[in-house]
Amino acid sequence: MIPRYTRPEMGRIWDDENKYRKWLDVELASTAELETEGVVPSDAAREIREKADFSVERILEIEAETRHDVIAFTTAVAEHVGPASRYFHYGLTSSDVVDTAMALQVADASRILIDGLDRLLDVLERRAFEFKSTVMVGRTHGIHAEPITFGFKLAIWYDEFRRHRTRMEAVADDMRVGKLSGAVGTFAHLSPEIEDRVMARLGLRSAPSSSQVVQRDRHASYISTIALVGGSLEKIAVEVRHLQRTEVREAQEHFAKGQKGSSAMPHKRNPIVSEQVSGLARVLRSNAMAAFENVALWHERDISHSSVERIIFPDSTIVLDYLLDKTAGLLDRLVVDPARMRENLDMMHGLVFSGQLLLELVERGASREDAYRWVQRNAMQVWDAGIEFKDGVMADPDIGRIMDRASVESVFESARLIDNVEHIFERVFGRRQ
């Protein structure tokens, strides 16, 4: 991923230096267990522990000749170790090292992503309670529907990202497996017991069964979960973009001092962070498709997945880390305009209460068909002539036979909405405030 979207901590997990250090961690853990088994002499194991090292530059130099990154790595380490290096990489195949080390990298990346989700959840919870009673219009199909509160909208997002956190923990745990089962997974050279002990040293579990590689359904599940989180981040971004439109203007991204919106139009305040979130979420979805394609490998393995994963694992985790940070910051500093929300709610002269009026008429004995017809004919006058919905309803003789003025007035109040939101918050957050 380009530096523009790479935060340093996540970027370091995927740089070459750290990747080869993880490879070395796997090699040294294997050597230690083979020493315990008496396969590697103690003096050789000590030499490997004390001298094993590499430089990225030397690995790349050797790889340019060998066209094999793991052989380049082991050769570079052997140059530091000396004669004892004949026991380095003993009994292992390349994927034993690469897949197991990748599990270590993914574990580190997952911790950062879960921390990012926790920060976003904190922001969502705080701002949800801040705007719990801030009434605004709810929209379906982009058209005014019924009143909601802005806090209710945020509570829905909070509930969704709490589910994402649970998913992220699950797929991260599913990826905490490695293997030392050899070229086709049959433990031809090392025993399952040695594999178990090496994985325990590394904080991993042994894959219960593997071919030459850990099966890629795990990897596809992990990347698709990242894409799903990205989809929800985009949902937030799209909502902010709509709310910031000039015709709506109910909420907008923080506009910093000195910030510019357009090279040609000095008046512009554009939702650039939200648009960036929407754009990069597309990258995550594309990577998920590539991860699905990696599941079907030839026989006990081919290498078609390797080149893809060199891109999609660093890029997906780096992008999601970036988007979680950006979205948390966006919501933390989001400028909300309750007065404009109220103004927009009143724009359609009370039409948003048509559904409640329909139910009140039915409860008082009108047939649903009659009630719908009476309410709709008054609603259409609002659309066509701009009159107040309540005034039309008050003057309607059919409605007047069933509901008195006080009953009609009660329909056009939002007290019931606020009480319902209180109950929703208790279900989502486990508390009221």
> Which residues are marked as active site?
141, 262
Tokens of 238: 């799209």
Q: How far is CA 354 from CA 8, 92, 144, 245, 282, in A?
A: 53, 71, 11, 26, 39
Q: 35 Cβ partners below 8 Å, 6+ apart? A: 41, 42, 45
Q: How far is C-alpha 5 from the chain's CA centre?
A: 15
What is the per-residue DSSP string for 40-92? S-HHHHHHHHHH----HHHHHHHHHHH--HHHHHHHHHHHHH-GGGGGTTTT-
Task: Please state the φ and ψ torsions of residue 184, each to the nearest 5 degrees.
Answer: -130, 10
**Using an 8 Å Cβ cutoff, are 252 and 271 in contact?**
yes
Question: Rounded to whole angstroms, how far apart are CA atoms 309 and 314?
Answer: 8
**Using an 8 Å Cβ cutoff, are 103 and 204 in contact?**
yes
Question: Rounded to whole angstroms, how far apart are CA atoms 71 and 93?
Answer: 10
Q: How far is C-alpha 279 from the chain's CA centre?
A: 14
Task: Please state the φ and ψ torsions of residue 352, each to the nearest 5 degrees.
Answer: -65, -10
Q: How far is CA 431 from CA 149, 153, 241, 332, in A?
A: 17, 17, 30, 21
What is the per-residue DSSP string for 239-253? HHHHHHSTTT-SEE-
Q: How many CB atoms lie within 10 A of CB 261?
A: 14
Question: Rounded to whole angstroms, how far apart are CA atoms 197 and 9?
Answer: 30
